[in-house]
Amino acid sequence: MLRNLIIVGNWKMNPASGKEAERIFKSVQNSAAGQSRVVICPPALYLSRLKKIPGKTLLGGQNCFPGEAGAFTGEISSEMLYDAGARYVILGHSERRTMGETNAEINGKIRAALVAGLSPILCVGEKERDEGHKYLDFIKEEAQECLKGVAKNSFSGIILAYEPVWAIDKSATRESAPEEFREMYIFLRRILSDKFGREAAEKVRILYGGSVSPKNAAGFLSEGGADGFLIGRASLDPKKFSKIIELCDQSGN
């Protein structure tokens, strides 16, 4: 099957200045000339600034409010993200779940994002793997509760990112293996297929995230069958990020 790969850079709360954000973004623009789709999700404050830099790279947010404009101090709505240049939004990231975000809240955010014309990148992932495979029930619950009530016709705009919490960031206990992702890829596709039908489910891209690097990316693409990546640390390192884009350009599409 032809695959159109997506590489999403999650800059989290980095870098510390708009000037540095421009520098990194410009180098991403230079390497994002191939057929893979590259999406950078910077802190929302930088979106308008980065939107002005010409090139193929698309932009996304890292969170949004589950409703429209109003009296919600400190919040940013999906319409505002769209207006600032975002076309995607990461939702349900484990770092936000650790801050208390629930599946029900994420569900509200997904619906709001779809209404505003943003493609939600829904993150799911277990904190640990147990021998009795309870983590599969956990993932199923996350996916089902977060996607509750989402209409079949808007569903194809959604992207899934499987990010095992134990493999993310500096606190990762070990690297995930491509075959572990493969198992989850098949499992998630079955959940989507049961809910939305096979045809709709097949259109959804399932990304891998968690310590992705130029060293392990090829394995997740070939053995894991990933439709792309959600990348944290390596997305702030232009050299590493462009190498991963290159591997995706060679592998997919």
Tell me the closest approach of the beta carbon of residue 98 to ligand PGA, in angstroms.
11
Tell me 8's DSSP state: E
Which 3 state secondary structure label does DSSP give 202?
helix
93 is catalytic: yes
What is the nearest approach in angstroms of ligand PGA to the Cβ of residue 95?
7
Structure tokens at 48: 């308008």
User: Minimum distance between the CB of residue 194 and ligand PGA, rounded to whole angstroms?
Assistant: 27
- Decide whether 79 or 240 has the Cβ nearer to ligand PGA: 240
Which residues touch 32 (CB under 8 Å, ≥6 apart)?
38, 55, 56, 57, 245
- CA separation for the pair 125, 165 (Å, rounded): 6
Give me the torsion for CA of 126, 127, 132, 133, rounded to 10°.
Answer: 10
Q: Which CB, 143 or 201, lies closer to ligand PGA?
A: 143
Rg (CA), the chain: 17
Identify which of residues 193 and 213 has a Cβ nearer to ligand PGA in the complex: 213
Is 232:168 a contact under the CB 8 Å cutoff?
A: yes
Q: Site residues (CB under 6 A) for ligand PGA?
A: 10, 163, 168-169, 209-212, 230-234
- In the complex with ligand PGA, the residue whose CB is nearer, 28 or 201, is 28
Residue 79 or 163: which CB sits closer to ligand PGA?
A: 163
Q: Which two tokens stand for residue 51?
A: 């939107």
Nearer to ligand PGA, 20 or 194 (CB): 20
Residue 247: phi, psi to the nearest 5?
-65, -40
In eight-state DSSP terms, residue 227 is: S
Give the integer Cα–Cα distance in Å for 143 and 155. 13
CB of 54 to ligand PGA, least distance (A): 27
Q: Catalytic: which of 93, 95, 126, 142?
A: 93
Asked if residues 135 and 129 have their Cβ atoms less than 8 Å apart, the reply is: yes
- Cβ neighbours around 156 below 10 Å, total: 16
Q: Which of 95, 126, 142, 163 is catalytic?
A: 163
Residue with tokens 């939600």: 120
Q: Residue of minimal CB distance from ligand PGA?
A: 232
The catalytic residue positions are: 93, 163
